A and B are shown apart, each in its own frame.
Chain A
Amino acid sequence: MTEVDILNKLENHLRNMKLSGHVGFDSLPDQLVNKSVQNGFVFNILCISETGLGKSTLMDSLFNTNFESTPSPHTLPSVKLKAQTFELQESNVRLKLTIVDTVGYGDQINKDDSFKSLVDYIDQQYEAYLQEELKIKRSLSSYHDSRIHACLYFICPTGHGLKSLDLVCMKKLDTKVNIIPIIAKADTISKTELQKFKAKINEELQANGVQIYHFPTDDETVAEQNNTMNSHIPFAVVGSTEFVKLGSKMIRARQYPWGIVQVEDPSHCDFVKLREMLIRTNMEDMREKTHTRHYELYRQKRLEQMGFTDVDSENKPVSFQQTFEAKRSNHLAELQAKEDEVRQMFVVRVKEKESELKESEKELHAKFEKLKKDHAEEKRKLEEARKKLEEEFVEFNRRKTQFSSSHTLTLGKNKKK
C-alpha cells in the first residue's frame, strides 16, 4: 500500500500507484466494448477488380451470405463504382457493411483514367467526413462513416506478374487506403506456379514502391500470427457460391471433373487466411489505420490547401481559430471589396451613360439651335422679302400716283415730242 514512489513529490509527475483492493476500473475496456457493440460497427470494403475475377462470389463467400449482386455490363466508357450497404449481425454484434464494387474496371481500351474514379470516390468519402468534422454543430458519434477501410485488389491469375494497370492503380491508392492484394481465381494456378507468382508480385510491388497494407505486428497477442500471414501475401483465393456435399458436410467448393476445390481448406487456397486476417483479427486495425493514417493525411493536405497552418511565417504556432479568424476577416474584406467593385462599376456605368445622354441632349439642342437659326434666317429673309415687296409696293404706288399725276403732263410732253 505504501509502495508509493516517495521521491516524486512533483504535482504533475506521473506516479505509479498500487491498489489495495479491487477498484473496478478494469471494467473500462468492457464499458468501451459495450458501448461500441451498442452502437454497432461500420466497415467499408472496396473491391477493385477487372470484370469477371469473382468479386461478388468472394464477398459472398467471405461473409457467408448472398449479397444478391447482379452482373454489371462490361462495355462502359469509364470505370464506375457501385456501393451497397448491408446490415449484418452475428451473435450480438451488428455490422454495417458497405461493399463498393468497381464496374467496368479494366474494360476500356485506354485505361489511363481507370484509377481516377477510384481516387475520386475515396477522396469524396474523406471529404464528407472532414466536412462533418469541421462543422460547428457536428454529430460525429452518429455520423455514418463511409470511408473505405480496406481495399481488396484482385490480381488476375496470369502467372506472369502484375499488369501495368495494377501497378499504376495501386501506386495511386497506396497512400489513401489499406490495400490488400489478392490473387483471384487461384484454382487455375498450381502450387509451384503460385509460389513463383507470389514472389514475382511482391518483387514488382517492391520495385515500384507500392505500399500495401501489412498486418500489424506491434500487438504481441496477434503479432506472431500476423507476421506469418504477412509472408503469405498476396493471398490466393477461390470463392464459391456453390455447396458440394463432402462426406456428410456441405461445404463451399468448386467441383471439377478432376476434383473438388474446397474454399475453406487452407491447403487448397488462402481463403481462410484472408478471412481470418480481414475480418477476424485485423478489422479494427484497418478501421483505425484508415482514421489515423490515411484520413489524417487527406485532412492535412486539404487543410493546407485551404490555407491552414500550424505555424505562421515567423514560426509561431497558430491556432485553428486564429487562422480561421484571419480567413474570416479576409473573407469579409473580400466580400466587401467585391461589393465595392460592383458599386464602383455601376457608378462608372451610370456616369458613362449620363454623359452619353448629356451628349445626345446637347446634340439635340445644337440641332435645334441650328434649326432655330435657320428658321430665323429664313424669317429674316422673309422679312426682307416682305420689306422689299413693301418697298416695291410703296414705290409702285408712288410711281403710280406720280405717274397718274404726271401722266397728262408726260403725255403732253410726249405729245410735244
Chain B
Amino acid sequence: MSSTTPTGPPPVPPSKPILSTPGSYMSSFQSGHTATIHSINKTHDKPAIAARPIPPPTVPKYSSSFGKIDRERNEFGGNKIDRLEREKEGIGGSYRLASLDRLANRQRLLEQNNGLGQVDAKNNGVIDNNNGQNGGNLNSGLQSKREMFFKGEAQVSPQGPPPQPPLINSSSIQNNINEKNHINTNGTHTNNTVQNSINKLIMKEKEANELNHHQDSNKLATERQEKEKQQAIVRPKVKELDGYVGFANLPNQVYRKAVKKGFEFTLMVVGESGLGKSTLINSMFLSDIYNQEQHPGPSFRAKKTVAVETTKVLLRENGVNLTLTIVDTPGFGDAVDNSNCWTPIIDFVESKYEEYLTAESRVHRKAISDSRVHLCLYFIAPSGHGLKQLDIEFMQRLHDKVNVIPVIAKADTLTPEEMQQFKKQVLNEIAQNKIKIYDFPEPLEDEEEAKALRQLRTRVPFAVVGSNTVIEVEGRKVRGRKYPYGVVEVENLDHCDFIALRNMVVRTHLQDLKDVTNNVHYENYRCRKLAGLGNDGKTKLSNKNPLAQMEEEKREHDSKMKKMEAEMEQVFEMKVKEKKQKLKDSELELTRRHEERKKALELQIRELEERRKAFEQEKAEWEQQNNVTLEELRRKSLEANSKETMDGKEKKKEKKKGLF
C-alpha cells in the first residue's frame, strides 16, 4: 500500500484543498472520505464538509442549510432537469422531503459500510444531479489541476496496491457510482456520462481495488491526503490547509442568518391601465395579491390621477420569508396630457432612498428596513409599433434611479414573428435613446445551466401573459388563457416569456437586483445628495467623506491663509523697505544738503576769518605804522564826537530842513 511508503502518492485523488467551481467540488466530495458531521434527520449533504477526513467530534445541527447549497448548485451551476422536476412537483417541500429520505437512506448505508458506504450513499443521494454536472465539471481551469493529479498518479502506479477482489457488500448501483467517481476524480476530461457505460467493465477491477483500499486504510486517509496536498501546490498565494478546518461552513452560517432574518423586496409596476399589471403580479407570485373582491387592484378604484400605492404581503416558501412590497402606479399614462406623469413615481423612488439614507446616517441606528424600490417592471403595450414617446420619456428618467426591466404586456396579441420584430424594434429604440435597462449579469461558468440562463437572457424584453385562472389542458392544470382557438399557457416558454421573466427575476437575480439597487442606484442617490452638501454646488467630487473633506478644506484654507499672509507680508516688507529706503534717501539727501550748506558756511566762515585776519593784520600794520591804536583813535574821536555831535545834529536838522 502506498500509504505505508511515505513518499508514494496515494492512489485515490484526494479532496483538493483548493476547489473553486461547483464541479470540482462535486468531484472532490465523491472521492473524499466522509465524516459524520451532519445530523441525519435534518441535513442534506454538504459536500465540502463531507469531503473532509477529520471527523469533528461534536455533531452540529446545521439545519437544512446543507441541502440548500446542493440545491443552489442545481439552480445555478448544475442541473436544469432537477429544477423542472421540482416545478412539476409543484411544491418545493416535496423535493425537500425526498432529499431527506435520501439522506436517511444514505445515513443507513453509511453506518453499514463504514467510510466507503458514505461515499456511495452520497452519490446515491445526488446521482441525479451528477449527470448534469459532470459535463460542466471540466472547465479549463480545473483541467490542468486534474492533469497534475493524473500525472502524479501515473508516475507511481507501479507502486500502487495490488488488485484485490471487489467487495461483495457494495451493491451494483454503488459500484456504478463509484466508478463514476473514479473516472471523474482520475481526471477524465471527457463527458462522464458517456464514458461511464463504456468504461464500466474496464474499470470495475480497479474500482474494486479502490473500494477495498478505502475500507482498509480509512484511517490512513488523512495522512495520504496530506501527502497528496504537498504535491498539489496549486496557488502559491493561498495558504494550504492540512485537513479540514471548518470555515467552509461559513456559507451555511450566512444561510442560517439570512433565513432567520428574512428577505425584503420591493417591486414596482408601471404601465398604462389595462395592461395586466395586477394579473402578472399574481401570476408571478402564484398568489392572489390583487383580488377583485377583497383586494381589488388599484385600477379598479375610481382615481384618475397618477398615484403611487403600495401593497405589502408576507410570502413564505420552504421556510424562507419574503416581505414583498408591490408598488403600483394607477393612472399612469391615462390622462390626456401625460407630461410629467412620472414625477410622482420619481418622487416615490427618491423618497424611499431618502428614508433609507436618513435611517442609515442616524447616530443611533436601528435595524434598517429596506423599502427601496429594487425593480421596476415597465409594461409596454403590445402595439407592434415600437415604443411610445411616454415609454421613452419614462425610462429615460428612471433608468439611472432604479433597475428597469421592460416587459411587453399581453403578449398573446402578437404572433411569434410579429413579436420578434417588435422586440427588435423595442430594443433598438431603447439603445437609440441611451436607456440602460437592468442588465442581467453574464453567467460566469460555462455550463449547461449558464447556457440556459444565457438563453433566457436573450428574451429581453420579456413578452408576458398573465392569468389568474387555472385551466386544464390535456390532463395538466396550467395557468392560462382559454381562447376558442386554443389555450395560452402562461408557464410555457413556447407561448410567452413569463417563465423566463420569473426565473430571471425571482429565482436567480433577486439578490442581484437588491445588490445593484444598494450598490449602484442608492449610492448614486446618496452621492448626488451629499455632493450637493459638500461642494456648494461645485461639480468636483472628491473621494472623501464630507467631514474629512471639511478637515481638508480647513487645512487647505489654513495654508491658503498662510500663503496670503506671506504674500501680504512680502508686499508689506517691500513697501516698508521702499519707504525706509526713501526715508534713508531723503535723510541722505538732507544730510548731503546740510553738509553742503555747512561746508559752504564754513567756507564763508573761513573766508571771513581770513578776511578778518587780513584786516586785523592790516589794521595792526597800520597801527604800527602810525603808532596809534584804533582804540585810541576811537576814544579820541569819541571825545571829539561829543563835541561834534551837537554840530552834526544841527547839521542834520539843517539838512532835513534843506530837503524840504
The interface residues of chain A lying within 8 Å CB-to-CB of B583 are 357, 360-361, 364
The interface residues of chain A lying within 8 Å CB-to-CB of B235 are 89
Structural contact, B286 and A19, CB atoms closer than 8 A = yes
Structural contact, A342 and B561, CB atoms closer than 8 A = yes
Chain B 507-535, CB within 8 Å of chain A: the 1/0 string?
11111100100010001001101110110
Structural contact, A321 and B363, CB atoms closer than 8 A = no
Residue of B nearest to A93 (CB): B248
Does B382 reach chain A (CB closer than 8 Å)? Answer: no
The interface residues of chain A lying within 8 Å CB-to-CB of B251 are 33, 36-37, 93
In B531-577, which residues have CB < 8 Å from any A CB?
Answer: 531, 533-534, 541-550, 553-554, 557-558, 561, 564-565, 568-569, 572, 576
**A93 to B246 Cα, complex, angstroms:** 10
Structural contact, A136 and B313, CB atoms closer than 8 A = no
Structural contact, A222 and B256, CB atoms closer than 8 A = yes
The interface residues of chain A lying within 8 Å CB-to-CB of B254 are 32-33, 36, 284
Residue of B nearest to A327 (CB): B550
Does A95 reach chain B (CB closer than 8 Å)? Answer: yes
Does A248 reach chain B (CB closer than 8 Å)? Answer: yes
**A389 to B611 Cα, complex, angstroms:** 8
In B288-347, which residues have CB < 8 Å from any A CB?
Answer: 288-289, 291, 294-295, 309-320, 322-323
Does B158 reach chain A (CB closer than 8 Å)? Answer: no
Structural contact, A137 and B541, CB atoms closer than 8 A = yes
Residue of A nearest to B600 (CB): A379
The interface residues of chain B lying within 8 Å CB-to-CB of A65 are 239-242, 245
In B41-78, which residues have CB < 8 Å from any A CB?
Answer: 47-49, 51, 54, 56-58, 60-63, 68-69, 71-72, 75-76
The interface residues of chain B lying within 8 Å CB-to-CB of A395 are 630
The interface residues of chain A lying within 8 Å CB-to-CB of B311 are 11-12
The interface residues of chain B lying within 8 Å CB-to-CB of A248 are 3, 217, 219-220, 223
Partner of A309, one of B15, B363, B576: B363
**A389 to B544 Cα, complex, angstroms:** 94
Structural contact, B594 and A368, CB atoms closer than 8 A = yes
Chain B 226-249, CB within 8 Å of chain A: the 1/0 string?
100000000101111111111111
Does A144 reach chain B (CB closer than 8 Å)? Answer: no
Structural contact, B626 and A31, CB atoms closer than 8 A = no
Does B31 reach chain A (CB closer than 8 Å)? Answer: no
In A284-338, which residues have CB < 8 Å from any B CB?
Answer: 284-285, 288, 296, 299-300, 303-304, 306, 308-310, 319-321, 324-325, 327-328, 331, 334-335, 338
**A93 to B244 Cα, complex, angstroms:** 12
Contacts between chains A and B (CB distance < 8 A), count: 414
The interface residues of chain B lying within 8 Å CB-to-CB of A141 are 515, 519
> Do A136 and B51 form a contact, CB below 8 Å, given A9-B295, A276-B56?
no
> Do A300 and B363 form a contact, CB below 8 Å, given A91-B28, A135-B543?
yes
The interface residues of chain A lying within 8 Å CB-to-CB of B523 are 137-138
Chain A 88-108, CB within 8 Å of chain B: the 1/0 string?
111111110000000000000
The interface residues of chain A lying within 8 Å CB-to-CB of B509 are 31
For chain A, the bracket of interface size reads: 35 or more
Structural contact, A19 and B317, CB atoms closer than 8 A = yes
- Main DSSP-derived SS at the A contact region: helix
Structural contact, A136 and B60, CB atoms closer than 8 A = no
> Do A375 and B291 form a contact, CB below 8 Å, given A13-B312, A272-B57, A310-B364?
no
Structural contact, B510 and A28, CB atoms closer than 8 A = yes
The interface residues of chain B lying within 8 Å CB-to-CB of A134 are 545-548
Q: Max chain B CB contacts within 10 Å: which of A137, A288, A319?
A: A137
Partner of B530, one of A136, A282, A310: A136
Residue of A nearest to B544 (CB): A135
Residue of A nearest to B565 (CB): A342
The interface residues of chain A lying within 8 Å CB-to-CB of B21 are 92
The interface residues of chain B lying within 8 Å CB-to-CB of A310 are 362-364
The interface residues of chain B lying within 8 Å CB-to-CB of A386 are 604, 608
Q: A94-B238, A132-B545, A303-B363 are in contact. List 15 more A-B contacts (CB 8 A).
A: A2-B291, A12-B312, A19-B315, A25-B265, A25-B315, A31-B510, A221-B256, A222-B62, A248-B219, A276-B56, A279-B249, A334-B554, A382-B601, A386-B608, A399-B634
Q: What are 30 A-to-B residue pairs whose CB atoms are below 8 Å? A: A11-B311, A22-B86, A27-B72, A29-B258, A30-B255, A32-B255, A43-B247, A63-B239, A64-B244, A92-B25, A134-B545, A134-B546, A135-B548, A136-B530, A136-B545, A219-B260, A221-B256, A248-B219, A266-B58, A276-B60, A280-B56, A300-B363, A325-B533, A335-B554, A364-B586, A385-B608, A385-B612, A396-B615, A396-B619, A396-B622
Residues of A within 8 A of B (CB): 1-2, 4, 6, 9, 11-37, 41, 43, 62-65, 67, 86-95, 131-138, 141, 219, 221-222, 224-225, 247-250, 264, 266, 272-273, 275-276, 279-285, 288, 296, 299-300, 303-304, 306, 308-310, 319-321, 324-325, 327-328, 331, 334-335, 338-339, 342, 346, 349-350, 353, 357, 360-361, 364, 368, 371-372, 375, 378-379, 382, 385-386, 389, 392-393, 395-396, 399-400, 402-403, 407
